[in-house]
């Protein structure tokens, strides 16, 4: 529950968009926007710990972001490494578990090592789980899961007719976590840009024009308040849900 006793979503997934435009409006380089974005991450993590959110997924770098200018990509990698170095201790102290979801094999050896260390240090923490999606794509995630099942079919340990949605879910990188309840995208665009495509089948969407570096506790609380207004029917009728609540 938040301070004004709102129901807090268990899992919040965020596309942190608008860093470049934030910087441009200040006549600064895009890098300054990304740096300011890291500050917003710190603020939001702290707020999620306070509100007892279980899982926070943050889209930091998509599998398509390699298409950006080489200079921007390498600066983003550097920023990621610096942020990991600076934040891991604090994250650990807060009983928070850090995971990086995505194909990290494409990152430099040293960044991969840093990621693995941060994950190992924090893996037994029982508070908030932060998923940093880096070189992540929803299609990559689904393809990877399906390939694992195909392998089992080929070796004969799984029958084609026994493949279920549940098994595809179990092969995703988020297999042991609840699906996102609330999805937020900052920066004004209203698209999912290949984020958790399978996992967001029944997620509530919230779009805000606020640019990520300006995103703060109040905007997050507004998104949570909007989530509280929604009726999640999962295919049922409103009347059916009311009957269940009355029973």
When binding is defined by CB under 6 A, the residue of 2, 40, 62, 88 that contacts ligand IPE is 62
* Nearer to Mg ion among residue 79 and residue 121 (C-beta): 79
The answer to the question of residue 61 lying near ligand IPE (CB under 6 A) is: yes
The answer to the question of residue 29 lying near ligand IPE (CB under 6 A) is: no
When binding is defined by CB under 6 A, the residue of 48, 59, 128, 171 that contacts ligand IPE is 59
- Cα 188-64-91 angle, rounded to 5 deg: 75
Radius of gyration of the chain, Cα coordinates, nearest whole angstrom: 19
* Nearer to ligand IPE among residue 39 and residue 191 (C-beta): 191
Listed in sequence order, the DSSP H helices in the chain are 19-25, 30-51, 70-93, 109-122, 138-155, 165-170, 217-229, 238-246
The answer to the question of residue 76 lying near Mg ion (CB under 5 A) is: no
- For residue 139, give Cα distances in angstroms to 59, 151, 195: 14, 18, 8
Buried b (16+ CB within 10 A) or exposed e, 182-206: bbbbbbeeeebebbbebbbeebbbb
Q: How far is it, in rounded angstroms, from Cα 136 to Cα 102?
A: 4
The answer to the question of residue 12 lying near ligand IPE (CB under 6 A) is: no
Contact between residue 168 and residue 145 where contact means Cβ atoms under 8 Å apart: yes
What is the CB neighbour count within 10 angstroms for residue 169?
16
The answer to the question of residue 187 lying near ligand IPE (CB under 6 A) is: yes
Least Å distance, CB 72 to Mg ion, is 11
The answer to the question of residue 125 lying near ligand IPE (CB under 6 A) is: no
Least Å distance, CB 201 to ligand IPE, is 19
User: Of 16-24, 86-94, 101-109, 213-221, which segment contacts ligand IPE by CB under 6 A?
Assistant: 16-24
Contact between residue 185 and residue 200 where contact means Cβ atoms under 8 Å apart: no
Q: For ligand IPE, how many residues bind (rule: CB under 6 A)?
A: 17
Give the residue numbers marked as catalytic: 17, 65
The answer to the question of residue 137 lying near ligand IPE (CB under 6 A) is: no
User: Is 100 exposed, middle or buried, given 0-12, 13-18 or 19+ CB atoms closer than 10 A?
Assistant: buried
Return the one option of ligand IPE, Mg ion, none that residue 65 interacts with (CB less than 5 to 8 A, by type).
ligand IPE
The answer to the question of residue 21 lying near ligand IPE (CB under 6 A) is: yes
Query: Which structure tokens are listed for 220?
Result: 């997050």
User: Of 11-19, 52-60, 73-81, 237-245, which segment contacts Mg ion by CB under 5 A?
Assistant: 11-19
**Crossing angle for the helix pair 70-93 and 30-51, to the nearest 10 degrees:** 20
Interface of this chain with ligand IPE, residues 64 to 83, rule: CB under 6 A:
65, 76
Q: Which residues bind Mg ion (CB under 5 A)?
A: 17
Q: Which residues bind ligand IPE (CB under 6 A)?
A: 15-21, 59-62, 65, 76, 187, 189, 191, 193
């Amino acid at each position: 529950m938040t301070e004004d006793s709102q129901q807090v979503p268990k899992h919040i997934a965020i596309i942190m968009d608008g860093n470049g435009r934030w910087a441009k409006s200040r006549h600064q380089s895009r890098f300054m926007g990304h740096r300011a974005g890291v500050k917003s991450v710190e603020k939001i993590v702290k707020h999620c710990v306070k509100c007892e959110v279980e899982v926070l997924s943050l889209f930091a770098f998509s599998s398509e972001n390699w298409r950006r200018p080489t200079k921007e990509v390498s600066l983003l990698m550097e920023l990621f490494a610096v942020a990991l170095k600076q934040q891991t201790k604090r994250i650990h102290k807060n009983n928070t578990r850090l995971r990086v979801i995505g194909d990290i094999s494409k990152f430099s050896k040293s960044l991969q090592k840093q990621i693995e260390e941060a994950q190992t240090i924090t893996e037994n923490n029982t508070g908030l789980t932060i998923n940093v999606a880096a070189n992540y794509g929803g299609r990559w995630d689904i393809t990877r899961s399906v390939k694992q099942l195909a392998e089992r079919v080929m070796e004969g340990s799984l029958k084609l007719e026994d493949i279920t949605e549940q098994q595809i879910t179990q092969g995703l990188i988020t297999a042991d976590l609840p699906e996102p309840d609330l999805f937020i995208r900052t920066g004004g665009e209203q698209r999912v840009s290949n984020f958790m495509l399978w996992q967001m089948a029944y997620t509530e969407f919230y779009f805000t024009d606020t640019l990520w570096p300006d995103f703060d506790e109040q905007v997050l609380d507004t998104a949570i308040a909007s989530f509280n207004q929604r009726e999640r029917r999962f295919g049922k009728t409103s009347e059916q849900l009311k009957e269940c609540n009355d029973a």
